[in-house]
Amino acid sequence: MFLYALNAFLQVQVPGAAEKRIANIFKPLATPGDLERQAAYLTLAVTAVIFVVVAGLIVYTVWRFRRKPDDDSCIEPAQVYGSNQIEAAWTIIPILIVFVLIGVSARVIASVQNASPPAHALKVRIVGHQWWWEVQYPDYGFVTANEIHVPATPDGKQATYVELTSVDVIHSFWIPQLAGKMDLIPNRVNYMWIDPREPGVYMGNCAEYCGTQHANMLLRVIADTPQDFQTWTQQQQTPAVSDAQLSPARDAFGALACVNCHQVRGTPSVGKFGPDLTHLMSRQTLAAGVLVNDTKNLRAWLNDPQDAKPGCFMPSMKLTEQELDQVVSYLQSLK
């Protein structure tokens, strides 16, 4: 019950004040996260003992040898030079400690990195952009952004393998409850895997300074039940809805420069620079996790993206009220 409540607490589902919290690395819900927590606890335990011993000796020495009120003499204490035993001890013991920690870290890194993907592992390719995440599902043939749906896998058999790269600068993919950080580097592909045990939303963010809006490069892994995941992929595979009623709005959108950067599959809008909008309304947030995806925020975002995310590469299009109405109603049809 306690763990369930803690989980609910850690899996924040809506943006807002609470979202700024970084999910807890000490409550992992995936295999790489478990292994890293063990290594972290061991490191903390060893360094805590060192801290207590060193700080204790300092406090003791400062107290024991403080200047007494009746001591006016300026005589230096006895000067002691050289003690082979003590010097050997404070050289060898720290070296041994460092090697133990190196060994433990190397073992955890190797066991995470050398794990081979199960035969039916889901493959997801994530491309870092300033300041959002492109999420490709090559086996399913669609692309989305910022919200990564994967199957939850209580037995660990449906792990998701993630390929990471970048088109501009170095970013870093980090979902604290699932695994450690992994960089997204231009012209290079890095790999990692995650196997979230429980369905839910796992919060994360870019963990490598990548420019003005680094702090607003949020991401969420949404672990679905197998049925929900299947429903979601089938829905994402369909081209954009094409409702005859909305054709004036669609035409208005198509006539704007939006189409240079955004793709809406099944329409002439094929831009690749910004997030794919084919199923925009299936996402919980806008602007890489910065805004809840609702009518008010969508309209404000389209009116001036620089307000919510100063410095981002989506310009204010200076749309008229009528154009805003049309674009909002078109985008909101993209379920």
Site for ligand CUA in 127-146 (CB under 6 A): 128, 131
- Give min distance, CB of 289 to ligand CUA, in A: 12
When the beta carbons of 37 and 214 are compared against ligand CUA, the nearer one is 214
When the beta carbons of 51 and 209 are compared against ligand CUA, the nearer one is 209
Q: How many CB atoms lie within 10 A of CB 87?
A: 10
Task: Using the structure block, give the residue that is written with the tokens 């870092």.
Answer: 128
Q: Please spell the DSSP secondary structure of 22-47, one letter per residue.
A: PPPTTS--SHHHHHHHHHHHHHHHHH
Q: At what angle do helices 321-332 and 295-303 cross, to 10 degrees?
A: 130
Q: Report the length, in residues, of the chain.
A: 335
Interaction of residue 217 with ligand CUA, rule CB under 6 A: yes
Strands 190-194 and 160-166, sheet pairing:
antiparallel
Dist. CA 319–CA 257, nearest whole Å: 11
Size of the site for ligand CUA (CB under 6 A): 9
Interaction of residue 197 with ligand CUA, rule CB under 6 A: no
Site for ligand CUA in 148-177 (CB under 6 A): 171
Tokens of 92: 């060898």
Interaction of residue 208 with ligand CUA, rule CB under 6 A: yes
Cβ partners under 8 Å of residue 334, min gap 6: 240, 241, 264, 277, 278, 279, 280, 281
Interaction of residue 206 with ligand CUA, rule CB under 6 A: yes
- Give min distance, CB of 184 to ligand CUA, in A: 8
- Give min distance, CB of 322 to ligand CUA, in A: 36
Which region among 68-76, 151-159, 201-209, 276-284 touches ligand CUA (by CB under 6 A)? Answer: 201-209
Q: How many CB atoms lie within 10 A of CB 265?
A: 19
- Give min distance, CB of 127 to ligand CUA, in A: 11
Dist. CA 261–CA 272, nearest whole Å: 5
When the beta carbons of 27 and 181 are compared against ligand CUA, the nearer one is 181
Tokens of 246: 């909305």
- Give min distance, CB of 209 to ligand CUA, in A: 6
Which region among 143-151, 210-218, 269-277, 289-297 touches ligand CUA (by CB under 6 A)? Answer: 210-218
Dist. CA 24–CA 176, nearest whole Å: 6
Q: What is the contact surface with ligand CUA in residues (CB under 6 A)?
A: 128, 131, 171, 206, 208-210, 214, 217
